[in-house]
């Protein structure tokens, strides 16, 4: 099969590495191999590159550089902060990288009515409230400090899908998780950002101010820094591109019967003054009478990459806990496909995907 990048519509799972990012990384996979904790020139060259990446990430997010600790993945960062503050509260729409460690550390799931959260009344201070920023399944955005009681403690938000899509500098949170490979950077780099005191995650060295021992993944961190800078610089143009692709696809699906968009109402796209809104980059569609995984397989045979849900749970037979919490009936969840738009998709490919889905849905429904 030939892989046409313009037909890759699974940007919520991972993004291609930007060409400029790849070029920035190359020296640190070759001659610039020094350990950034070494005092000699080889080490100081890579140390300077790591600190430049930290500064770039700071500029992209509005946080001071000394608040940024690099990790190997967003999952690692999420586990770190949640383990430090047990018995907190967690949103019902979380990625499994938050949901699993939260439940393991005694967290209570915040009740909800549809997309609206209902803060839990408590006479004691809750140590931490963790809520996803941008849903990896539907693109729905929950402002971190919305739906929070005054007696609740620190706020953590998993913003892995937010960099390059949301103005992170305008948000208020105490802990924020970011991921490189969701914003056209390499895999193997992420960050936990916080201005608050937190205990170390790994012991055994003085790296990252003693908070995370272990030799740094310099090439991936270097790539992450530039990817974050480019993502912020291109945030508005990438948003407009995603909006256009989304509109083209939905227009092609208009003749199809029995389907729905999961998430917020279309009128809420981009209305950032609301406590809940939606980014155009991630589109969750449910089609009655078909199986989402079948659509994914058929799309793949036609050269399109889409998803039936979160990549981390693609092997699970359980219905999405996110869509279940949103109140989507199980018969609709079974027919869900996630389409996520990105920088390298073309209008022609979006139109072709819509046309393919229309024909495929008609054929699958006639068979059933």
The number of angstroms, rounded, from the C-alpha of 5 to the middle of its chain's C-alpha atoms is 20
Which phi and psi (to 5°) does residue 142 adopt? -115, 120
For residue 106, give the DSSP letter. Answer: T
pLDDT tens string, the chain, 368 residues long: the values are 668 999 999 999 999 999 999 999 999 999 999 999 999 999 999 999 999 999 999 999 999 999 999 999 999 999 999 999 999 999 999 999 999 999 999 999 999 999 999 887 777 788 999 999 999 999 999 999 887 765 578 999 999 999 999 999 999 899 999 999 999 999 999 999 998 889 999 999 989 999 999 999 999 999 999 999 999 999 999 999 999 999 999 999 999 999 999 988 666 655 666 788 999 999 999 999 999 999 999 999 999 999 997 545 555 568 899 999 999 999 999 999 999 999 999 999 999 999 999 999 999 888 86
C-alpha closest to that of 10 among 228, 279, 299, 363: 299
In a 3-state reduction of DSSP, which class is residue 49? helix
Out of 119, 312, 324, 364, pick the active-site residue.
312
Q: Which residues contact 27 (CB under 8 A, 6 or more apart)?
A: none
Residue 32 has a pLDDT of 96
Residue 46 has a pLDDT of 97
Domains with residue ranges and CATH for the chain? 5-15+235-367 (3.90.1150.10), 19-233 (3.40.640.10)
- Token duo for residue 244: 């256009």
Distance in angstroms (rounded) separating the CA atoms of residues 308 and 97: 18
Residue 121 has a pLDDT of 75
Residue 119 has a pLDDT of 80
Residue 275 has a pLDDT of 83
Helices (H), 26-156: 41-61, 74-84, 96-104
Q: Is 312 annotated as catalytic?
A: yes
């Amino acid at each position: 099969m030939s892989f046409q990048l313009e037909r890759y519509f699974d940007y919520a799972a991972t993004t291609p590495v930007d060409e400029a990012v790849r070029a920035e990384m190359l020296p640190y996979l070759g001659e610039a191999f020094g350990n950034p904790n070494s005092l000699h020139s080889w080490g100081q060259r890579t140390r300077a590159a790591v600190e430049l990446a930290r500064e770039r990430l700071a500029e992209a997010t509005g946080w001071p550089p000394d608040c940024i600790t690099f990790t190997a993945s967003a999952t690692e960062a999420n586990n770190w902060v949640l383990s430090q503050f047990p018995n907190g509260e967690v949103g019902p729409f979380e990625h499994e990288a938050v949901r699993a460690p939260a439940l393991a550390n005694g967290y209570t799931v915040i009740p909800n009515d549809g997309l609206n959260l209902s803060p839990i009344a408590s006479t004691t201070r809750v140590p931490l409230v963790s809520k996803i920023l941008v849903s990896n399944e539907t693109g729905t955005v929950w402002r971190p400090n919305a739906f929070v009681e005054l007696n609740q403690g620190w706020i953590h938000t998993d913003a892995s899908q937010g960099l390059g899509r949301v103005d992170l500098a305008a948000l208020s949170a105490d802990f924020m998780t970011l991921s490189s490979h969701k914003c056209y950077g390499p895999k193997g780099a992420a960050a936990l950002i916080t201005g608050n005191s937190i205990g170390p995650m790994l012991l055994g060295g003085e790296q990252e101010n003693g908070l995370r021992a272990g030799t740094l993944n310099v090439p991936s961190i270097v790539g992450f820094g530039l990817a974050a800078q480019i993502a912020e610089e291109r945030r508005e143009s990438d948003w407009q591109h995603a909006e256009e692709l989304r509109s083209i696809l939905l227009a092609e699906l208009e003749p199809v019967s029995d389907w729905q968009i999961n998430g917020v109402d279309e009128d809420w796209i981009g209305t950032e003054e609301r406590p809940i809104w939606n980014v155009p980059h991630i589109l969750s569609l449910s089609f009655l009478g078909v199986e989402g995984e079948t659509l994914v397989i058929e799309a793949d045979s036609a050269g399109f990459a889409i998803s039936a849900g979160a990549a981390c749970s693609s092997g699970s037979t359980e219905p999405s806990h996110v869509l279940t919490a949103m109140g989507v009936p199980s018969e609709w969840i079974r027919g869900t496909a996630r389409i996520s738009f990105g920088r390298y998709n073309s209008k022609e490919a979006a139109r072709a995907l819509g046309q393919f889905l229309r024909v495929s849905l008609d054929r699958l429904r006639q068979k059933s």
